[in-house]
Homo-oligomer: A and B are copies of this chain.
Amino acid sequence: MLSHSPDHRTRTAERRRDAMRRRLVESAMLVFAAKGTETVVIDDVIMVAGVSRGTFYKYFPSTLDLMVAISQELANELMAQVERVVAPIPDPVERVALGLRLFIETARAFPLFAGFIRATGVQATGPAALIYNYLPDHLNEGIAKGRFLDLPLEIHLDLITGTVLLCVLRQLPVPTETAHVRQVVASMLRALGLPAPEARAIADLDPPPLHLPEDSLLVRTQRRLEAGSDDTCRRAR
């Protein structure tokens, strides 16, 4: 039997497509880390990825699509992470607090992530939008249980989003202390309506250590960043 089954062929091709897609997304992250969002993009990305221009366009119709792809990938990884931790927790307040902690912890552990947030800002497409998708249910539950003040959700959401954003930016160029993060989260909980002592107590509950899968975008990219910072930065200005 000389030829593989068409099915197998298809599957192989698909796997290769995925690998290349990842490679491009990673490379874009690396470029982001090396330079500000402004300045060159495509040239750097394909150079870091080691592929041709044509190949790039095979995978992404435009640079914007690449940005979107990164955002989604990051959002997915983060959601998985957060859900894993908070799902079993009965108290909606703790769920909110731990979710925010995890978001900020990710930015602390992965400057790459913080940099991307900074570059993206508060866009509907960026990972910051995650907050608007993830929190409402928990907030509503907290409100229903009388733990949070019964205000329009957007009040709570804007405060949280804005605060988290600033807190993430604070992680650059060097991360803050854990104490700082706890205090910020406590502040948000007070804003949501919790009494100061309770806010403090819950904000001090540490989430389990981050555990992103080995093949997650952030982990892979961080690794490449540490490994060959030479190659990456060579052309990067």
Contacts and interface: CB of A to CB of B under 8 A. Distances in A.
A147 to B, nearest CB: 13
Contacts of A72: none
How many copies of this chain are found per oligomer?
Answer: 4
Nearest to A188: B191
A152 interface: yes
A234 to B, nearest CB: 19
Contacts of A213: none
A198 B149 CA distance: 14
Q: Give the interface residue-count category, chain A.
A: 20 to 34
A92 to B, nearest CB: 18
A51 to B, nearest CB: 16
Interface string A150-180: 0110111011011111110110000000001
A57 to B, nearest CB: 13
A166 B158 contact: yes
Nearest to A194: B190
Contacts of A129: none
A196 B149 CA distance: 9
B158 A184 contact: yes
A151 B183 contact: yes
A226 interface: no
Contact of A191 (B164, B170, B190): B190
Given A191-B188, A193-B196, A196-B149, A180 B155 contact: yes
In the complex, the 9 A-B pairs of residues with the closest C-beta atoms, listed nearest first = A162-B162, A162-B166, A191-B191, A158-B166, A187-B191, A162-B163, A159-B163, A155-B183, A159-B187
Given A156-B187, A161-B162, 10 more contacts: A38-B38, A122-B169, A151-B183, A154-B180, A158-B166, A159-B162, A162-B163, A165-B166, A187-B191, A190-B193
28 contacts: A38-B38, A121-B121, A122-B165, A122-B166, A149-B196, A151-B183, A151-B187, A154-B180, A155-B184, A155-B187, A156-B187, A158-B166, A158-B167, A158-B184, A159-B166, A159-B187, A159-B188, A162-B163, A162-B164, A162-B166, A162-B167, A163-B163, A165-B165, A165-B166, A190-B191, A190-B193, A191-B191, A193-B196
